[in-house]
């Protein structure tokens, strides 16, 4: 089994967290972010991560996580109960389609010759406001979807970690946006503790 990756990718980190949790060994294939021709060759598109297992090719980070869950069910990342599993799926879909829209929008705006600063402030305020939601989700439990590490933590951690973490050598503008608009200050003790817990897992 191979997984194609580039340095500092939030979506690659999602897959790495799932693999580490399940104890699955893979061959990592390093990709030059400036030359993704090999990724296009194997998957027909240029985004990473890409999982290749024989003739099977899976793209999109959370689809890869779901695929790993189906093929390696030990140490589950999704609830067994169908209703609870569907609810977790709704959270992941919200994170990808709604929460990520604001930082993606800021990045797109900053690429313009004349960024709309008012729009950037509006989008940044949405990122800041969501911190309250994550803090509340962690009230009385260790992880975003309960006491157990789950796909919810995998979906969110690589993005929320920038509230307190920065990897040396990371010069991605998107990550700078996540850092700049997720200032925790003296608040959000549960969110800060959760970042520490998941970060320790990621580095284990």
CATH of the domain at 20: 3.40.30.10
- Specify the pLDDT at position 80: 94
Is residue 108 located within the same domain as residue 183?
yes
pLDDT in tens, 126-163: 999 999 999 999 999 999 999 999 999 999 999 999 99
- Specify the pLDDT at position 67: 97
- Closest by CA to 4, choosing from 168, 21, 45, is 45
Is residue 91 located within the same domain as residue 177?
yes
User: How many domains is the chain partitioned into structurally?
Assistant: 2
Is residue 29 located within the same domain as residue 113?
no
Domain span at 186: 82-203
Last residue of a domain, one of 41, 71, 101: 71
- Specify the pLDDT at position 203: 79
Is residue 41 located within the same domain as residue 138?
no
Is residue 86 located within the same domain as residue 65?
no
Is residue 103 located within the same domain as residue 156?
yes
Kindly list the distances between the CA atom of residue 75 and the CA atoms of 51, 68, 196, in Å, as whole numbers in the listed order: 20, 11, 21
């Amino acid at each position: 089994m191979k997984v194609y990756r580039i340095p500092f990718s939030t979506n690659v980190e999602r897959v790495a967290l799932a693999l580490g949790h399940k104890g699955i060994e893979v061959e990592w294939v390093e990709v030059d972010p400036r030359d993704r021709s090999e990724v296009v060759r194997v998957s027909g598109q240029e985004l990473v991560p890409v999982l290749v297992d024989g003739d099977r090719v899976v793209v999109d980070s959370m689809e890869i996580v779901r695929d790993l869950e189906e093929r390696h069910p030990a140490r589950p990342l999704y609830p067994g109960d169908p209703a609870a599993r569907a609810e977790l799926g709704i959270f992941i879909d919200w994170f990808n389609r709604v929460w990520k829209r604001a930082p993606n929008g800021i990045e797109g705006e900053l690429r313009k010759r004349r960024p709309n600063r008012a729009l950037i402030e509006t989008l940044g305020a949405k990122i800041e406001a969501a911190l309250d939601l994550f803090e509340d989700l962690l009230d009385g439990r260790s992880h975003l979807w309960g006491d157990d590490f789950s796909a919810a933590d995998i979906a969110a951690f690589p993005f929320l970690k920038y509230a307190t973490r920065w990897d040396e050598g990371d010069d991605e503008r998107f990550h700078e946006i996540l850092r700049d608009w997720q200032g925790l200050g003296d608040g959000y003790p549960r969110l800060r503790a959760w970042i520490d817990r998941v970060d320790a897992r990621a580095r284990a």
